Amino acid sequence: MSSPIDVEVRRVTPDELVPWIETMATTFLSRPDVGRIAELNGPHYDFTRTWGAFDGRVVGTLRSWATELTVPGGALLPAAAVAGVTVLPSHRRRGILRRMIAAEHEAARERGEAVAILHASEASIYGRFGYGTGVTECDLTLDTHSTGFVAAAAAGGVSLAHLDETTVELIRGLYDRYRRTRAGEIRRRDHSFVTGLGLTENGWEAPWKGWVAVHRDAAGDADGYVAYGAELKWEQGQPRSIVAVRDLVALGDAAHDALWRYMAELDLVATVKAERRSPYERLPWILTNSRAVVIDEVGDGLWVCLLDVPAALAARTYDRSGDLVFEVVDPEPGTGRTRVHLEAGPDGAACAATTRGPDLTVHADALGAAYLGGTPLRHAILARGFEEHRPGALGEADALFRTLDQPRCMTFF
């Protein structure tokens, strides 16, 4: 077995994409047609952001793509969306993952991306690299036979749309308007809307087959949509079909409620399932029987790492005012600490490096977890500890980061 220093970490070239995908798929216990995947997806890869570890062959993978993260207050922060992170079983525990993440983080800072984000395959991996759970998500299951809606249907209506380029442009625009209003949401890649509607394939799975329904307000303007598929099912001669929501995006409460009503009132349907929703969603509160909605699979969604702590903290707004000096224990592979002075309030914030004594020392993953306002800092610090240099500083910081509206991220990558 070669030593860790014999493994080369570098950017992948286009002609190395097939073995790179083969390694990623193998580690994720999948055996797809990697040649077909490379052919279909190669044009969407940015090879300046695609990393491999090489030991005569590809033994580790990591890639990212450029996006924007909406932060509290509505600012759009340049972000690196990290995905495809794997190391072959034969090469684990040799520092390969650490080296690939270090390479990507350094490159992201050079690109001016203040945060990195990811969805974790295993929750125990990424804390030491500065990532914390910034968004909590859940699955919703609605028993349509057990409830109604507390209010009558509002003006406007929901209608099916043709699955064509016109609908792609419509939902792309609706999603873009929506994601700018909710902390935690991200800019999606343009090609994902086409693939998401099954108009093209990506090779990883069969093209999606379903429907898109669009809500229009009383003036006739589109303000929400739902994409859904169905599993036809009968029990003892009775229709008990299951509908799976792929995407439900609404620009306001009226559109949200109308789209859920549409789903609940579909003929032949007994159950509506939706993944990557928020446990704080308003759906149970608009039903005559809130128990008709089961909230389960509650857990970590989007993970957040602050690559530029001063820039990230200054980019968001805060629901209350505060003045704190944070000492942030850098993640692996760094060994230092970052000390910043944050002056924050509802109208904005200023944050810069400082030599002042700290009020509070926390680890980078805890700060990443609390950043979007949904994860209490007082919980996030429990995994690695903290040091309070001024009495009450933790409570002040915890209150400062919290937001009235919970962050969410409906986009998996």
Give the separation between CA 226 and CA 246, rounded to whole angstroms: 7
Of 82, 74, 45, residue with least CA distance to 305: 82
Q: Is 175 a catalytic residue?
A: no
154, with CB counted inside 10 A (0-12, 13-18, 19+), is: middle
Structure tokens at 33: 């047609």
The catalytically annotated residue of 45, 225, 401, 413 is 413
Give the separation between CA 62 and CA 66, rounded to whole angstroms: 14
C-alpha distances in Å from residue 31, one per residue of 34, 45, 53, 119, 204: 8, 20, 20, 21, 10
What stretch of H or E contains 68? strand 58-70
What is residue 219's three-state secondary structure?
Answer: coil
Of 279, 298, 68, residue with least CA distance to 183: 68
Residue ranges with strand state E in 346-392? 348-353, 360-363, 386-388
Q: Produce one character per residue of 258-282: b if its CB has 16 or more CB atoms within 10 Å, e if not.
A: bbbbbbbebeebbbbbbebbbbebe
Residue ranges with strand state E in 88-153? 115-118, 132-133, 136-143
Ranges of H-type helices in 28-112: 34-41, 96-111
Can you give the C-alpha Rg of the chain in angstroms?
A: 23
The catalytically annotated residue of 126, 178, 228, 371 is 126
Q: Produce one character per residue of 195-220: b if its CB has 16 or more CB atoms within 10 Å, e if not.
A: bbbbeeebbeeeebebbbbbbbbeee
Q: Which amino acid is at 17?
A: L
Q: Is 371 a catalytic residue?
A: no
Of 133, 63, 127, 109, residue with least CA distance to 332: 127
76-87/115-118 β-pairing = parallel
Give the separation between CA 341 and CA 355, rounded to whole angstroms: 9
Which are the catalytic amino acids?
A: 126, 413
